[in-house]
Every structure is written in C-alpha cells, then in structure tokens.
Structure 1
Amino acid sequence: MNDRWKKDYYRMTGEKYKNGIKSFATMRFSHQIKYMKLWRKVSEKGNIVDKIRLHIKAKKYGLEISPKAKIGEGLYLGHAFEITVAGGAIIGANVNLHKGCTIGAENRGERKGCPIIGEKVYVGINSTIVGNIHVGNDVMIAPNTFVNFDVPDHSIVVGNPASIHKKENATQGYIAFCVGKEEG
C-alpha cells in the first residue's frame, strides 16, 4: 500500500490506515478516499486499466485532478465534488481542497502556466487559483475567492477582487491531522 496515500487517508479521517473492517468500510463509502488511492497509483506508475478506472471515477465525482499534477502528502478533499487541478500544478503537503475549487492554468500573458501552492494551505469552496503564481505556506484562501497573483506566507486571501490580510497561523483550526514534520 502506498505510503503517500496512507497519509491522505489519515488527513481525511483522522485515523491511521489499518487492514481491518473499519478501514474497509471507510474505503467503501468515502469516494474521495477511493479516488485518491487510485490517483496516487496512476500518478506514480499506473497502467492503462487504472487510468481508465480513474477517468471513470473522475467523471462520476467531478474530481478532475490531473495525474500530471505534483501533489504532496496529506491531501484533504473536503465535500469532494467538482474539484479541478491542472496538470502542471504543484501542491505542497497538508493542503485542503474543497468543493468547486479550481487550481488552473493561465494560457497566455505574463502569468502563463500553473500555480505552485505551498504547505498547509486551505482552499475554500468555489475558490479559483490560476496562473504561474506562488501561494506561500500557511495560507487560507476564503470561499469564492479568485487568486491570480502571488500570496506571501501566513496570509488570508478574501474576495473578488481578492485582498491579502497578513496573519500568523492563518490556517490554525482549519488544517487538521498534519503529516510529515508536524506528525506526532
């Protein structure tokens, strides 16, 4: 079993993955956990059958996360429907993506490309992050926010047009069950 996927499982459930009935039931009834398990497999070395299965699940749940995206350990998919992540996107560890959010490419102009998102970032419902920009660590993107500019560490981004508000521990209380350095 893939260690990175186990960290996604932990972030989404708050429990370590164990072979047993409870983990089996969680897998059976949580589409976002099943999706991420298959996504991790395909993004690392999936075969054609796995790629087809991922495509079917993507259409069923509206989870269009490109296997070409680079996603750190401990991804949390909240209310996981209609989430889009472009192929060139880079997402750090312990990131929360919520319903309707888009991490997308800009096709022309000075920001042509995909975002790089740091660690411990909360992306709220229906938020959009586009272009060759950098979103720092410990950043909260509020629901319904459009971001097409660089965001420094320890910030809250609100609105459309968006504004940045500096705040230490911006994601405290929103990012739970961290993996990696903070995992205890």
Structure 2
Amino acid sequence: MRAARKYGLEILSDNIGPGLYLGHAHNINVSPLAKIGKNCNLNKGCTIGRENRGKRIGAPTLGDDVWVGSNCMVVGNIHIGNDVLIAPNAYVNFDVPDHSIIIGNPAKIIKKENATDSYITMRI
C-alpha cells in the first residue's frame, strides 16, 4: 500500500501474466478486471481501464508481448493482440490485431511484423 501511494500504482496481480515490466513505474493504473498477457511492458502514466456504459462495457485484454507507451489510455471491453506496440499518448478503444503499431489520437493501426522488437527485450 505504501508503494502504491508513493508511486501512484493501481495494479492487482490477479490477471497478469509472467514477465510484466513497469517502465518508470509512476501513475500506472490497471483495472482489476483487465487481463494482461506475458512479457507486457507498461510505461509511466498509462491507464488500462474499464468502460462503465455503452457497447464496450468492461475492461481490456492485452495479449502477449504488448508494449504500452507513456500516457496511453486503453479502455473498454476490447482485445489487444500479440506483438502490439501502442505509441505514447495514444487513445485505444477498439480491437487491435496481432503484429501492429497503434499511434495517435484518434488511434490508427499500422501493420508491422515484429512490432515490439527492440522494445520488449527481456522476455520470459
């Protein structure tokens, strides 16, 4: 609890796969309903949050090898595929296929094999 208050971390370990890396671990918020795959990286200021109304009620599911940049928001009952890089400051509220880079607000999908190569370096 002290670490959570000091660093602004709101994250539970119930639905998190092995190899989670918190880069510059400050102000990271993860809904207790979210599911995070293995070897995912969450960076400063990102939110993996739920939506409380509308057609995307619920929290995101992140696949394996997902890199979430600083100040990103990933919200709603959506699925983020494997090997996905979400660029800093992106707002994502839609499903993302495997091997993609997500950039911007509104976010755009750019297909790319090995999207997280050189970003996720310590895989389990």
Could you tell me the TM-score, scaled by structure 2's length?
A: 0.98
Q: CA deviation at 1:78?
A: 0.3
Structure 2: how far apart are the matches of 1:65 and 1:84?
6
Aligned residue for 1:132? 77
| Equivalent in the alignment of 1:40 | none
Q: CA-atom RMSD, angstroms?
A: 0.8
Cα distance between partner residues in 1 of 2:62 and 2:31: 12
Question: Among residues 99, 105, 110, which one is paired with 2:55 in the alignment?
Answer: 110
Question: Residue 53 of structure 2 aligns to a residue in which SS?
Answer: coil
Residue 61 (structure 1) aligns with: 7
Alpha-carbon distance in structure 1 between the residues aligned to 2:83 and 2:77: 19
Q: What code does the residue aligned with 1:154 have?
A: H
Q: Aligned pairs, how many?
A: 124
TM-score normalised by the chain length of structure 1: 0.66
Aligned mates of 1:131, 1:56 — CA distance in 2: 29
> Following TM superposition, by how much is the alpha carbon of 1:57 offset from its aligned partner in structure 2, in angstroms?
1.5
Q: Which has the larger radius of gyration?
A: 1
Offset of residue 56 of structure 1: 2.1
Q: Give the equivalent residue in structure 2 for 1:76.
A: 21
Q: Which has the higher helix share?
A: 1
User: 1:174 Cα shift?
Assistant: 0.3
Q: Distance in 2 between matches of 1:90 and 1:125?
A: 19
State the Cα deviation string for residues 84-106 of structure 1 (Å, max 9, x = none): 00010000000000000000000
TM-superposed deviation, 1:152: 0.2
Unaligned runs of 5+ in 2: none
Which of the pair has the greater relative contact order for Cα pairs under 8 Å at 6+ separation?
A: 2
**In structure 1, distance between residues paired with 2:108 and 2:99:** 14
- Taking the aligned partners of 2:31 and 2:2, their CA distance within structure 1 comes to 18
